[in-house]
Amino acid sequence: MSHSEHGVVIDEATVMRGGRTVVDAMKLVVPPGQSLAVIGSSGSGKSSLLAGLATALPLHAGDIRIDGHSVRSDAAAVRRRVGFVPTGITAWPQARADEFLEFFALEAGLRGKPLRMAVGRGLSMAGIDEPGTPIDRLPTGQAQRLLVARGLLHDPQVLLLDAPFTGLDPRERRDIEHLINDMHLGGLIVIAAIDDAAVPVCFTHLAVLAAGRLVAHGPAVRSAFECSRPWRRRITCPAAAPQAATVLRRLGIDAMLIDDDTLECHCDPQARPFGDLLAALVRAGVAIESTDFHPPWPAQLLEFIEAEQGPA
């Protein structure tokens, strides 16, 4: 437990709620500059893990260390290094945006000019031109940016985000993605619980939880989780989907028509690279407009792992 440690070290951490284990002997190291997306079905322990990292929930066993500081023995030092962004702004009726930020800046120990500068930066990050705007009148995306700004008031080394994309439209989602990307490029650690397993490219790493246990972890690229799995791919080929389905079925590939322009297929890249299938379609005269995973590959990975794990 040396204070020379950098980043986040989760060391056999166990969290219990209501007599039930919600984080089970988890081990994980997250170095500076890494952005980690945590996925899992409802009740898998994502939010409880973040709460344990933020010292909002006590550990039943094990430890978590932030830059060498233990959540068990030095919680105050951990809180100075962590910014925690919960899901949604609640219990702040009629509060002004600047008052909201000022309250948390004071709680973080800021006073005078540093406090005023932190509040100003927070309002700017949230795109709020009128400091007196009531927070319950803010659009969903702006309210989410205000929450992120609140978590960054005291310049933490670690930012914890619980369901940061819930309820956002595509433009608002991109705004939060850009913020996350800037943070980890600046050397911060970002750890986010993602409810729908639609993990954007701003995350460098992925962790999968099931029943409170870490069951998979690696770089946020599909090849890190291959393991001979039949990924579902959607292919768009205008007016040629029936022809494409026929070609793929001749190759022994399960293909299903969506409409005349679109089909889906199951492809295990270890058995037959997806590029080979596309090449076969091109040779058959099929013009391919686009391909994608459907649903996104992290959501498929979660389905695979839950099926492999069996009933809880």
pLDDT in tens, 246-279: 999 999 999 999 999 999 999 998 889 999 999 9
Gap between the Cα atoms of 183 and 185, Å rounded: 5
Gap between the Cα atoms of 86 and 161, Å rounded: 6
Give pLDDT, residue 2. Answer: 45
Q: Are 272 and 309 in contact (CB under 8 A)?
A: no
This prediction has a pTM of 0.90
Which of 38-42, 109-113, 123-127, 138-142 has the lowest average pLDDT?
Answer: 138-142
Query: Domains in the chain, please, with CATH?
Result: 8-220 (3.40.50.300), 226-309 (3.30.70.100)
pLDDT band at 312 (very low <50, low <70, confident <90, very high): low
Helices (H) and strands (E) in the chain, counts: 9, 14
The H-assigned helical ranges of the chain are 46-53, 75-81, 97-107, 112-126, 140-151, 170-185, 241-250, 274-283, 297-309
Please enumerate in sequence order all residues whose Cβ is within 8 A of that of 306, keeping only pairs 6 or more positions apart, or say none: 41, 210
pLDDT band at 96 (very low <50, low <70, confident <90, very high): very high
